[in-house]
């Protein structure tokens, strides 16, 4: 059974082989009982005109890896086998790779296709000092230091840009670069598409131009694990209005724009200049609406109110501007607004008739 699709690419100072995973069961049905897969490597001078024949390759190749039957049968045939060979020490040579199956009696099958590559020495070393921080709401900031030299020791490093990768800690492989096809030209990246509370692994690779017009990546910067945490409170609620009629006070305000806001805390004090200890929170859990009805008031008394927004991680905003309202006994409506506030749409209907309250506080 002949393997097809052996390929090789350079990453930094190593060569990465990809080999098709043979179908062990299908081979057995054809009478070839796979015992192992052998991988060979040969070197020849750069610029050689033709790839060697199978016999010529095997004459000067040496065995560099073996995959046994158990390893070959461990996963689906849709998955590939990978092998890292390095570090590269001979940049002036062509490196050739091939593989073949061997049966239980030690008889080899035909040689695979011969993959070849001429490694470049002017590929950058990995970036270093990779760091991640929660920089702002829904922003993880990654920073790193550029490589100092190329893998062959030459300087300055041949850096065209960088690729940034991320995976969940439980995932075995990285996906495509977070930055897409456009390389990162600086030494920082802002990740804006993640979930708070999920542990991620980040790596960065420097990228150099290849001789054939493609791109070659460096080896990975030292991976870091990072769990984003939301410690950023919402903005203070705006447009707070207080209205009184029939011995109660109703509050209205504009909804916060942050998508993770789950509700609001309503605070009350005897006056606007009351001490901090005099402010009492009226609701035990975040209030999900932008209206609130306070019935625990005394007719004729004046009360000060302020409101905070709360997100799903418990971050609480700074207080809104304070509104002060007197409790009226009859149905006559009195409205007080915070400074510079515009009446929210939810409050407009209350000024057109008797005080009717959609939600009772407490």
What pLDDT is stored for residue 26 in this prediction? 86
Q: Are 290 and 346 in contact (CB under 8 A)?
A: yes
CA atoms within 13 A on the CB side of 300: 0
What pLDDT is stored for residue 333 in this prediction? 64
- pLDDT over 80 at 332, yes or no: no
> Given the DSSP bridges, would you call strands 280-281 and 261-269 parallel, antiparallel or unpaired?
antiparallel
- pLDDT over 50 at 362, yes or no: no
What pLDDT is stored for residue 360 in this prediction? 44
d(CA 297, CA 325) in angstroms, rounded, equals 11
> In this structure, is the dihedral angle defined by the CA atoms of residues 268, 271, 275 and 277, taken in order, positive or negative?
negative
- pLDDT over 50 at 358, yes or no: no
What pLDDT is stored for residue 302 in this prediction? 97
- pLDDT over 90 at 351, yes or no: no
d(CA 33, CA 102) in angstroms, rounded, equals 8
Residues 229-241, mean pLDDT to the nearest whole number:
97
What pLDDT is stored for residue 335 in this prediction? 74
Max alpha carbon distance in the chain (Å)?
105
As given in the structure block, the two tokens for residue 5 are 């699709």
Mean per-residue pLDDT over the chain, rounded: 91
CA atoms within 13 A on the CB side of 273: 0
Residues 325-352, mean pLDDT to the nearest whole number:
61
Partners of 19 in beta bridges? 81
What pLDDT is stored for residue 77 in this prediction? 63
pLDDT-based confidence at residue 2 (cuts at 50, 70, 90): confident
Residues 139-159, mean pLDDT to the nearest whole number:
97
Token match 């290849």: residue? 210
- pLDDT over 60 at 359, yes or no: no
d(CA 235, CA 318) in angstroms, rounded, equals 7
Q: Which range among 222-231, 255-264, 345-354 shows the weakest confidence by mean pLDDT?
A: 345-354
CA-closest candidate to residue 251, choices 353, 341, 352 = 341
pLDDT in tens, 97-132: 999 999 999 999 999 999 999 999 999 999 999 999
As a whole-number percent, the residues of the chain with pLDDT over 70 amount to 91
What pLDDT is stored for residue 127 in this prediction? 98
> In this structure, is the dihedral angle defined by the CA atoms of residues 219, 224, 225 and 227, taken in order, positive or negative?
negative
Structural domains present in the chain: 7-117 (2.60.40.10), 128-226 (2.60.40.10), 238-352 (2.60.40.10)
Asked if the bond preceding 311 is cis, omega within 30° of 0, the reply is no
* DSSP SS3 for 17: strand
Q: Which range among 82-86, 150-154, 349-353 shows the weakest confidence by mean pLDDT?
A: 349-353
pLDDT-based confidence at residue 350 (cuts at 50, 70, 90): very low
What pLDDT is stored for residue 340 in this prediction? 52
* DSSP SS3 for 60: helix
What pLDDT is stored for residue 46 in this prediction? 84
Q: Are 24 and 70 in contact (CB under 8 A)?
A: no
Q: Are 130 and 146 in contact (CB under 8 A)?
A: no
């Amino acid at each position: 059974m002949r393997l097809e699709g052996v390929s090789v690419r350079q990453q930094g100072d190593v060569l990465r082989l990809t080999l098709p995973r043979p179908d062990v069961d299908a081979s057995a049905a054809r009478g070839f009982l796979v015992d192992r897969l052998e991988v060979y490597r040969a070197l020849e001078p750069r610029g050689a005109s033709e790839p060697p024949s199978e016999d010529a390759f095997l004459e000067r190749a040496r065995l560099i890896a073996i995959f046994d039957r158990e390893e070959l049968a461990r996963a689906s045939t849709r998955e590939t086998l990978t092998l890292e060979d390095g570090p590269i020490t001979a940049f002036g040579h062509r490196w050739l790779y091939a593989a073949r199956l061997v049966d239980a009696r030690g008889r080899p099958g035909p040689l695979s296709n011969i993959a070849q590559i001429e490694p470049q020495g002017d590929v950058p070393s990995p970036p270093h000092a990779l760091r991640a921080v929660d920089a702002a709401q829904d922003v993880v900031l990654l920073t790193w230091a550029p490589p100092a030299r190329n893998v062959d020791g030459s300087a300055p490093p041949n850096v065209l840009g960088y690729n940034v990768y991320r995976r969940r800690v439980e995932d075995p492989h990285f996906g495509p670069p977070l930055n897409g096809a456009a390389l990162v030209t600086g030494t920082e990246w802002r990740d804006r598409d993640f979930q708070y509370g999920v542990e991620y692994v980040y790596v960065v690779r420097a990228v150099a131009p290849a001789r054939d017009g493609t791109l070659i990546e460096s080896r990975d910067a030292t991976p870091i694990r990072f769990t984003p945490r939301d410690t950023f409170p919402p903005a203070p609620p705006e447009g707070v209005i207080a209205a009184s009629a029939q011995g109660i006070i109703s509050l209205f305000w504009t909804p916060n724009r942050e998508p993770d806001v789950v509700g609001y805390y309503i605070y009350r004090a005897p006056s606007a200049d009351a001490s901090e200890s005099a402010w009492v929170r009226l609701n035990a859990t975040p209030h999900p609406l932008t209206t609130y009805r306070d019935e625990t008031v005394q007719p004729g008394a004046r009360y000060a109110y302020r409101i905070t927004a709360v997100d799903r991680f418990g971050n609480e905003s700074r207080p809104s501007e304070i509104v002060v309202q007197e409790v009226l006994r009859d149905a006559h409506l009195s409205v007080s607004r915070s400074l510079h506030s515009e009446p929210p749409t939810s409050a407009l209907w209350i000024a057109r008739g008797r005080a009717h309250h959609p939600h009772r506080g407490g």
